[in-house]
């Protein structure tokens, strides 16, 4: 457990080639090299994340700048010159003449941003509460874990919709579109912290009775310091696995909310919003408006999920 935790920490991008090499030649790196699923999904994730980050530089059009749009380009099929303007678009255009490829790049940015931020938020919240519950015990533990249990009985998407609805009610109308992304992060994060809290509490219960924790307590370290400095590093590896799988779920949750029309506003379309827009043209033959954002969402969520699965197996000493 301790070993693997240390190893995962080193997988974070590091500028020192020698360290990277160490990881590459470790057990962990070996398992990675031997797994085609991990290799492919890691490449896909890297490719998608990079293209989303680079969107403003690689997108052929800026879909958010109305000046550049030409309505006559509307409904241009993929890689076919438009009958009126002669313009050609790799993945076609939607009803407003927006380039589908560019909207996907920008949409993915928002999907990923919401996904990462929501998981980060859920992770911080869940790990903190889980640590406190596991370490403090007593009524604090009961309170936190019963709240978690109650929340687990509701589907996450329902909780997210509820939080989103309440938060939207509190935001003034004129800020709603600007705040929508942050509200979305809050809603998905709050619906997702329970997994983290449960796992961290479980691991903390095991760790807090080990000798090194008792030793730290004996020399008089405070509870907070023990939790942060001693227990936390040793419970992190399952957290990393959950975070990866949660990322896939958060991206899907965001797309679901946006598809239902309660998520990202049309002015900041995420992949889910794009799918919702495309759905209106499903019966009329403009399949590319729906298909390409859907395929992007599918590959993104699937490869993150596969990566998470592999990570879980690789970090599980019993499966080695």
Partner 1 sequence: MLRLTLVSALVCALGTSAFGETFRWASTTDPQTMDPHAVNSAPVLGFLNNVYEGLVRRGKDMSVEPALATRWEPIDGGGWRFHLRQGVTFHDGSDFTAEDVLFSYLRASSEASDTASWFASVSEVVVVDDFTIDVITSSPNPIFPDSIANWMIMDSGWAAANGAELPAKDSENHATLNTNGTGAFMLTGRQPGLKTVLEPFGGWWGDAEHNITLAKFTPIQNPATAVAALLSGDVEMINPVPIQDAERLSQSPGVKVFQGIEARVIMLGFPHEAEVLKYADDAGMPNPFTDVRVREAVAKTVNVPAILRTIMRGNAEPASQLVSPAMRGYSVALAARPAHDVDGAKALLAEAGLADGFSFGLKCPNDRYLNDEAVCQAVVSMLAQIGLNAELDAMPVRNYWPELRNDNYDMYLLGWSPGTFDAEHPIRFLAATPDADKRLGSWNFGGFSNSRVDELLPMIQSEVDYAKRQAMLDESAKIIQDEHAYVPMYVQPLIWGARENIELTQRPDNFFILRWVTVN
Interacting residue ranges for partner 1, rule: CB under 8 A: 65-67, 69-72, 74-75, 84, 95-97, 266-267, 279-286
State in angstroms the smallest separation of the CB of 112 from partner 1: 25
Of the pair 63, 308, the CB lying nearest partner 1 is at 63
How far is 225 from 202, CA to CA, in rounded Å? 19
Residue 173 to residues 176, 262, 316: CA-CA distances in angstroms?
Answer: 5, 14, 49
Dihedral class, residue 79 (left if φ above 0, else alpha if ψ from -120 to 50, else beta): left
State in angstroms the smallest separation of the CB of 295 from partner 1: 19
Residue 106 to residues 45, 69, 99, 208: CA-CA distances in angstroms?
Answer: 16, 16, 11, 45
How far is 97 from 92, CA to CA, in rounded Å? 9
Q: Assess contact for 188 and 256: CB atoms under 8 A.
A: no
How far is 108 from 103, CA to CA, in rounded Å? 8
Residues 6+ apart with CB under 8 A from 33: 24, 39
State in angstroms the smallest separation of the CB of 152 from partner 1: 32
Q: Assess contact for 135 and 223: CB atoms under 8 A.
A: yes
State in angstroms the smallest separation of the CB of 280 from partner 1: 5
Of the pair 118, 289, the CB lying nearest partner 1 is at 289
Number of H helices, E strands in the chain: 15, 0
Of the pair 194, 275, the CB lying nearest partner 1 is at 275
Of the pair 225, 260, the CB lying nearest partner 1 is at 260
Of the pair 116, 281, the CB lying nearest partner 1 is at 281
State in angstroms the smallest separation of the CB of 253 from partner 1: 21
The residue among 304, 203, 311, 201 whose CA lies nearest residue 246 is: 304
Q: Assess contact for 258 and 276: CB atoms under 8 A.
A: yes
The residue among 13, 17, 22, 21 whose CA lies nearest residue 3 is: 22
Of the pair 17, 285, the CB lying nearest partner 1 is at 285
State in angstroms the smallest separation of the CB of 283 from partner 1: 5
Of the pair 65, 209, the CB lying nearest partner 1 is at 65
């Amino acid at each position: 457990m301790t070993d693997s935790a240390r190893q995962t920490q080193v997988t974070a991008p590091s500028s020192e080639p020698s360290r990277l090499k160490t990881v590459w030649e470790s057990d962990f790196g070996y398992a990675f090299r031997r797994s085609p699923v991990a290799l492919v999904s890691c490449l896909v994730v890297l490719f998608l994340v990079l293209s989303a980050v680079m969107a403003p530089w690689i997108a052929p059009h800026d879909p958010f700048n109305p000046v550049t749009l030409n309505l006559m380009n509307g409904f241009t099929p993929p890689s076919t010159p438009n009958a009126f303007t002669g313009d050609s678009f790799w993945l076609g255009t939607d009803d407003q003449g927006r380039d589908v490829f560019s909207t996907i790049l920008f949409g993915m940015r928002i999907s990923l941003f919401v996904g990462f931020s929501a998981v980060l938020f859920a992770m911080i919240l869940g790990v903190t509460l889980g640590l406190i519950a596991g370490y403090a015990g007593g009524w604090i533990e009961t309170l936190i874990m019963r709240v978690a249990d109650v929340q687990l009985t509701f589907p996450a998407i329902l909780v997210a919709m509820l939080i989103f609805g309440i938060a939207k009610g509190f935001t003034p109308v004129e800020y709603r579109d600007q705040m929508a992304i942050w509200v979305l992060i809050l809603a998905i994060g709050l619906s997702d912290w329970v997994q983290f809290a449960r796992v961290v509490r479980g691991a903390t219960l095991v760790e807090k009775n080990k000798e090194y924790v008792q030793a730290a307590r004996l020399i008089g370290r405070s509870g907070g310091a023990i939790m942060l400095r001693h227990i936390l590093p040793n419970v992190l590896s399952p957290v990393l696995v959950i975070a990866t799988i949660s990322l896939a779920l958060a991206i899907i949750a965001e797309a679901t909310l946006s598809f239902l029309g309660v998520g990202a506003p049309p002015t900041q379309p995420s992949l889910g919003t794009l799918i919702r827009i495309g759905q209106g043209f499903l019966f009329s033959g403009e399949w590319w408006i729906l298909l390409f954002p859907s395929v992007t969402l599918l590959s993104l969520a699937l490869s993150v999920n596969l990566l998470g699965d592999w990570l879980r197996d690789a970090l599980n000493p019993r499966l080695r």
